[in-house]
Amino acid sequence: MNIRRAHKKRSRVDLAPLIDVVFLLLIFFMLTFAVQGQGMDMLLPKESAAAEPPQQPVVIAIQTDGTLQLNGQMLTLDALLGDLKQVMQNRNEKQVVIESNQDVRYEVFVQVLDITRQAGVSDYSIVM
Asked if the model's pLDDT at residue 20 lies above 80, the reply is yes
> What pLDDT sits at residue 124?
84
Confidence of residue 34 (pLDDT cuts 50, 70, 90): low
Let me know the angle formed at the C-alpha of 33 by 29 and 36, rounded to the nearest 5 degrees.
Answer: 145
Average pLDDT in the 78-95 region?
86
What percentage of residues in the chain have a pLDDT greater than 70?
Answer: 85
Mean pLDDT of the chain: 83
**How many residues belong to the chain?**
128
- The C-alpha atoms of residue 92 and residue 95 are separated, in whole angstroms, by 9
Domains delineated in the chain: 58-127 (3.30.420.270)
Asked if the model's pLDDT at residue 117 lies above 80, the reply is yes
